[in-house]
Structure 1
Amino acid sequence: MNSQDHTKQQSTIWQDEATRLAYAELANVFYAREIPSLSAEPDIDRLQRRLNSLPYYVERAATHIVLGEVPLELDSHNGCWLAKQRKCPEWQAEEAQSFFTAQAAVGLVVPVLVVDLGISCLYLDTLDQRRDGRWHCNQFGWFDCAGKALSNNEQADLPTIRYLLKPNKALMTAACCGHRWQYHKILPPRTLGLREMLLASSVNWANVRKKQQRK
């Protein structure tokens, strides 16, 4: 598809009332979700930067979600993805090591299993660096080649037990939907922020173990 055809297709999509309504609902939800966290920002300069960039990220997230190809049910009113919740995943060291040693690539969106105070949850993150067989994720830091966090991070905003899992559709779906478990009992899902909602639209759903090729 050439650029003119792509532009024409997007224009046609935005003429659809349901699409425009979904975009408006998502934008409203994202603003309502992000503003409370901004109000708690103590650094005035950082607050100013975040406020200035917020419209861009809200528009980008809402557009990518509405025009994207995520094969999950979208609840635009609440700004979340919906799917049936299954059993709590477990870290498989040998399986993870085989994948992250030979197949993973920088830029790949991956599921991270976080266990904190008995509550397990899947998050979306991206591989942004590889060094000496280790992998670094944009949010959750360094992991060894088998997907285990290299150290217990003592920062208050990062949980201490983290595992990098080999991607599959079930895990990516659970991460996109914010699924949580407490000792294998299903809990209400957590709410994803703008960053993870954008990452969900960056997943190559045709093959979640390969990076999405942008058109």
Structure 2
Amino acid sequence: MTQSSFWQTHTETGGFAELCNGLYQREINLIAKGDYASVQAVQARLQSLPYYITRTAHAMTEVNSQGLSPLQLDSQNASWSAKQSTKLPLSGQETEQERDKVFAWYLQEGICVGLAVPVLLFDHIIIDCIDRIDVDRQRLRTNVGGWFSLVATNSVTQGRDVNKQLLKPNKKIMTSACAGHCWQRNSKQLPIIPSLRELLLSCSINWKNFKKPLPI
């Protein structure tokens, strides 16, 4: 099957149309509630919407049909679903020694700009992406989280923002991020549906090798 025919197959399915409809409803609602500085800003957002919604719906459908993700596709709600753990899945990334291993993972060769990575924000994990790597100062920046030091001395107790933490990707953490799982004092809460950008990034996750993103 050629790429063009594969695209055509997806766009003709009811699931694809349902995904697009769900994404449109969500995004239009967000725009309606948004605080924009000008009419032009709203117009620009609306003009770009068809492209990003179509691209995201196609990517989610393709990833699901090819079995490239362990998550379940919920076309009606335009989201991924998975069983939620009883508490934040931070095991192995909490102590100072464990955090050193997280930093070491990000200092390996092959970590690149554009890589989808998990970031803990308060009580849930988001899918972010690396947009800059500063080798000399041993730090990296993600699009939403901002700068993160990869120096081992930046430990749990030494000036780190406990509400914002760069995590090492693993199956449990990435599943939680993709499905929008959240907790309050380690008590499960209703999921937060990831943003359109996060959903698109979720389709680039290579679940067999988190350092090598899939093309989207």
Shorter chain as denominator, the TM-score bin is 0.7 to 0.9
Shift of 1:121: 0.2
Matched, 1:47 2:42: yes
Call closer, same or farther: CA 1:88–1:32 in 2, change over 3 Å.
same
**Partners of 1:165 and 1:193 in 2: how far apart?**
19
Moved beyond 3 Å, runs of 4+: 8-15, 146-152
2:100 aligned to 94, 102, 124, which one?
94
**Partners of 2:155 and 2:4 in 1: how far apart?**
44
Equivalent residues, number = 196
2:53 aligned to 58, 74, 89, which one?
58
Residue 192 of structure 1: SS of its match in structure 2? coil
Partner of 2:132: 129
- Aligned alpha-carbon RMSD (Å): 2.4
Q: TM-score, normalised by structure 1?
A: 0.82
Shift of 1:94: 1.5
Shift of 1:114: 1.1
Matched, 1:169 2:168: no
Partner of 2:3: 6
Shift of 1:78: 0.8
Residue 107 of structure 2: SS of its match in structure 1? helix
* Partner amino acid, structure 1, of 2:88: C
**Partners of 2:201 and 2:117 in 1: how far apart?**
9
5+ long unaligned stretches in structure 1: 153-159
1:109 aligned to 113, 116, 120, which one?
116
Q: Share of identical aligned residues, percent?
A: 36
**Partners of 1:56 and 1:41 in 2: how far apart?**
22
Q: TM-score, normalised by structure 2?
A: 0.81
